[in-house]
Amino acid sequence: MKKLYLVVWSILSCVLLSCSGSENGKSLPNPPKHIVLVGFDGLSSYSLNNGAEMPQFRSMMQDGCYTLENRSVLPSSSAVNWASMFMGAGPELHGYTEWGSSTPDLPSRVLNEHGIFPDIYSGIRAKYPDAELGFFYEWNGMKYLVDTLAINHVQPLNLSAENSKEELKDVLSYLKEKKPMFCSVIFGEPDGAGHSKGWESEDYFKMLTHLDQALALIVSAVKEAGMMDETVFILSADHGGKGTGHGGKTMNEMQTPIVFYGKGIKQGAQITESTMVYDIAGTVAFMLGVEQPQVWIARPIKSAFNEKF
Ligand SMILES: [Zn+2]
């Protein structure tokens, strides 16, 4: 009897242990080999709800998983929100509080070995010393908001220029040749069009269509490189806008899209849970099995994946 009890007990503990193990599992069982984050400065959910002609973007919404109710942190400004997207925390913690902050306006709560608030790039680098990591940006202020010392390839480009095809050449060949584990491409528009002509203006909507063509080129490059089956795309923005500005508390300024598309991502689904801009860093970390620094407040958006956690 005693023996039987022991056997049952050991089987039970094994089952319990393995259950709790998978419940606390911090990463995907079949992680993607590549993650491509495409950011659009000033792309509002409002514009997508009001007829923005972005066929490529919309096809990734429809065949992927998305929310149009993602929120920016306050103020709804660029540096504050881009920093949050990469740093997995809000301005109270990373310290970048103004639209153009290039250094923290209040001390970052924690600094990594490079003297910057721990971001997703430094997290990936710590776990994967040999990983290929890329960062292409248009607005000059972006380079202060990530740990560039953790990135192999950092390059400014006029990504939104009229001759995008020419300007994007370096991005496309980088994707094909280096097949990065994580690469961000951050357009400086449609923010400029919004500031000069208004967030609901014809110019703003025209710019969205132009950016959508650039997005299509990026997606094609990933396809041509034969990486599509192993890639997750993330599309998002720092903030929206209203009139010719942003920074305030209207939903037009604060609501932005998050789209996930690709390997292991639900198709034709919406994310109904609450998300914030900093959850993007948490979701990238989750996909790659990178443990979040304690200082992060990001919550991985697990409902976007086919697998249940
Ligand atoms: Zn702006």
Q: Compute, in angstroms, the gap from residue 281 CA to the centroid of ligand 1.
A: 22
User: Does residue 45 form part of some domain?
Assistant: yes
Q: How much distance in Å is there from the Cα of 142 to the middle of ligand 1?
A: 13
Q: Assess if residue 14 is contained within a domain.
A: no
CA distance 84 to 280: 9
In 3D, which of 282, 290, 298, 281 has the Cα closest to residue 145? 281
Query: Considering the domain boundaries, does residue 17 fall inside one?
Result: no
pLDDT at 256: 98
Buried-exposed string 194-208: b where 16+ CB fall within 10 A, e elsewhere = bbebbbbbeebbebb
Terminal Cα-to-Cα distance of the chain (whole angstroms): 38
Taking the centre of ligand 1 as the mean of its atom positions, its distance from the CA of residue 139, in whole angstroms, is 10
Domain annotation covers residue 19: no
Residue 2 lies in a domain: no
In angstroms, what is the span from residue 191 Cα to ligand 1's centroid? Answer: 5
pLDDT given for residue 251 in this prediction: 98
- Ligand 1 midpoint to CA 308 (Å): 38
The answer to whether position 23 is within a domain reads no
CATH number assigned to the domain comprising residue 257: 3.40.720.10
What was the pLDDT predicted at 172? 97
- Give me ligand 1 centre to Cα 272, in Å: 28
Q: Are 236 and 258 in contact (CB under 8 A)?
A: yes
| Ligand 1 centroid from CA 17, angstroms | 50
Name residue, tokens 């089952």: 15
Q: From the CA of 104, how far away is ligand 1's center (Å)?
A: 19
For the segment 74-125, what is each residue's pLDDT rounded down to a tens digit? 999 999 999 999 999 999 999 999 999 999 999 999 999 999 999 999 999 9
Number of domains present in the structure of the chain: 1
Residue 240 alpha carbon to ligand 1 centre in Å: 9
C-alpha of residue 4 to centroid of ligand 1, in Å = 70
Residues with Cβ within 8 Å of residue 144, at least 6 apart in sequence: 79, 96, 101, 102, 103
pLDDT of residue 239: 98
Q: How many angstroms does the Cα of residue 114 sit away from the middle of ligand 1?
A: 28
Å from CA of 246 to ligand 1 middle: 6
* Domain ranges, residue 170: 29-304
Is position 20 within any domain? Answer: no
Angstrom distances, CA of residue 241 to CA of 47, 62, 139, 231, 247: 10, 24, 17, 31, 8
Q: Which residues of 254-290 are buried (b: 16+ CB within 10 A; e: fewer)?
A: bbbbbbbbbbbbbeeeebeeebbbbbbbbbbbbbbeb
How far apart, in whole angstroms, are the C-alpha atoms of residue 18 and residue 169?
48
What is the per-residue pLDDT for 163?
A: 87
pLDDT tens-digit profile, the chain (309 residues): 555 555 555 554 544 444 433 334 556 889 999 999 999 999 999 999 999 999 999 999 999 999 999 999 999 999 999 999 999 999 999 999 999 999 999 999 999 999 999 999 999 999 999 999 999 999 999 999 999 999 999 999 999 998 888 889 999 999 999 999 999 999 999 999 999 999 989 999 999 999 999 999 999 999 999 999 999 999 999 999 999 999 999 999 999 999 999 999 999 999 999 999 999 999 999 999 999 999 999 999 999 999 988
Asked whether residue 11 is assigned to any structural domain, the reply reads: no
